[in-house]
Amino acid sequence: MATVLITGTSSGIGKVTAKHLADKGWRVFATMRDLSKRGPLEKLLVEAGTGGQVTFETLDVNDPKSIDAAAASILAQTGGTLDAVVHNAGVAIAGAHEDMPDEEIRRVMETNFFGVLGLTRALLPAFRAQRRGRILCVSSQSAFAGQPANSIYCASKWALEGWAESIAFELDAFGIDVILVEPGPYRTEIWRTTERVTPPGGPYTTWARLVFRGADAHEAKHARDPEEVAQVIAEALEVPRPKFRYPVGFFAKLDFLLRGKLPTRMIRRGTTRYLGIPRTR
Ligand SMILES: NC(=O)c1ccc[n+]([C@@H]2O[C@H](COP(=O)([O-])OP(=O)(O)OC[C@H]3O[C@@H](n4cnc5c(N)ncnc54)[C@H](OP(=O)(O)O)[C@@H]3O)[C@@H](O)[C@H]2O)c1
């Protein structure tokens, strides 16, 4: 039975991916930083009748000790092998850079970027020894073009993609595949839990509120069922030769196609107009 470790399975894309892969016969190690949040995934598994394939483990990607303990525990249960890791855990913070608390910037980078590096390093000896393995990172449409009031989230996904594209060179000889799955908007908790930093009377506050209004309208109209992302993740893990990148959904595919084809200023103007923000100059 193929084995997979997934991070951040308490909600959203991680939760439905754990269920989807279990449905397809994978042995899933569903990890989350707080196991008391396992209820929603357990409920989904009971409804689907797939509970037997899923083992819950604690894993906080911001804590090196937690990473090492989870990797050791999971590899001990599989006899030292693992077919794939899905780096899914992610957070965001919205607002203008000048308003952003330093610790928030670091929290996003720690979770979305450094956490992926740490867990990958903990698993690489097993992947190298078995001379195969898939390292799948849930990136984002945000890696294709800058977005207003979303600079640190975009930066974390751009960093992730540069790192992933680079380590693919050194891992190729070991039969290890590196894969990016890049969703557009999907209906998950991240849209509601992401803090919006808008200090009253701040120089960016009026602008940021307009951005959020546009983003909310975009999400309400276009965000889709995260099951679609789970299906693409399953495909990328199961095809004999996976592609390097999988943009998921119309908007991710559009941004991917436009990248490098239109001047960045033109894309910025189009995004501004789409969100309903008045032109500043
Ligand atoms: N939804 C979208 O529109 C969209 C689009 C593109 C990309 N993505 C990416 O998809 C991934 C999943 O996000 P989502 O949309 O499913 O949002 P979500 O519902 O908020 O899920 C995020 C998951 O990450 C977990 N997490 C956060 N910090 C963690 C940490 N330090 N250690 C372990 N787990 C941690 C959360 O756990 P807690 O419950 O403990 O907070 C939660 O399980 C993220 O990488 C996100 O950037 C989402």
Q: What is the pLDDT of residue 182?
A: 98
Q: What is the pLDDT of residue 74?
A: 98
Q: For ligand 1, is residue 88 a contact (CB within 6 Å)?
A: yes
Q: For ligand 1, is residue 272 a contact (CB within 6 Å)?
A: no
Kindly list the averaged pLDDT for each block of 10 residues, start to end, along the chain of length 281.
98 98 96 98 91 90 98 98 98 98 98 98 98 98 97 98 98 98 98 96 96 96 98 98 98 93 93 90 75
191 Cα to the center of ligand 1, angstroms: 10
Q: For ligand 1, is residue 249 a contact (CB within 6 Å)?
A: no
The number of angstroms, rounded, from the C-alpha of 225 to the middle of its chain's C-alpha atoms is: 15
153 among known catalytic residues: yes
Measured CA to CA in angstroms, residue 196 lies from 73, 94, 95, 208, 212 at distances of 37, 5, 6, 9, 8
Q: For ligand 1, is residue 8 a contact (CB within 6 Å)?
A: yes
CA atoms lying within 13 Å on the CB side of residue 192: 7
Q: For ligand 1, is residue 3 a contact (CB within 6 Å)?
A: no
Decide which of 3.40.50.300, 3.90.960.10, 3.40.50.720, 2.30.38.10 is the CATH code for 3-200+225-262. 3.40.50.720
Plot region of 279 (φ>0 → left; ψ -120 to 50 → alpha; else → beta): beta
90 Cα to the center of ligand 1, angstroms: 4
Q: Which residue owns the Cα nearest ligand 1 atom 46?
A: 90
Q: What is the pLDDT of residue 49?
A: 85
Q: What is the pLDDT of residue 280?
A: 77
Looking at ligand 1, which atom is closest to the CA of residue 185?
Answer: 3
Buried b (16+ CB within 10 A) or exposed e, 118-132: bbbebbbebbeeeee
Q: What is the pLDDT of residue 237?
A: 98
219 Cα to the center of ligand 1, angstroms: 16
Looking at ligand 1, which atom is closest to the CA of residue 142?
Answer: 6
Q: State the Cα–Cα distance between residues 275 and 273, nearest whole angstrom.
A: 5
pTM over 0.75: yes
Q: What is the pLDDT of residue 94?
A: 98
Q: What is the pLDDT of residue 51?
A: 61
Q: For ligand 1, is residue 222 a contact (CB within 6 Å)?
A: no
DSSP characters over the chain: --EEEES--SSHHHHHHHHHHHHTT-EEEEEES-GGG-HHHHHHHHHHT-GGGEEEEE--TT-HHHHHHHHHHHHHHHTS--SEEEE-----EEE-GGG--HHHHHHHHIIIIIHHHHHHHHHHHHHHHHT-EEEEEE--GGGTS--TTBHHHHHHHHHHHHHHHHHHHHHHTTTEEEEEEEE--B-STHHHHSEEE--TT-TTHHHHHHHHHHHHHHHHHH-B-THHHHHHHHHHHHSSS--SEEEESHHHHHHHHHTTTS-HHHHHHHHHHHHTPPP--
Q: Which residue owns the Cα nearest ligand 1 atom 45?
A: 90
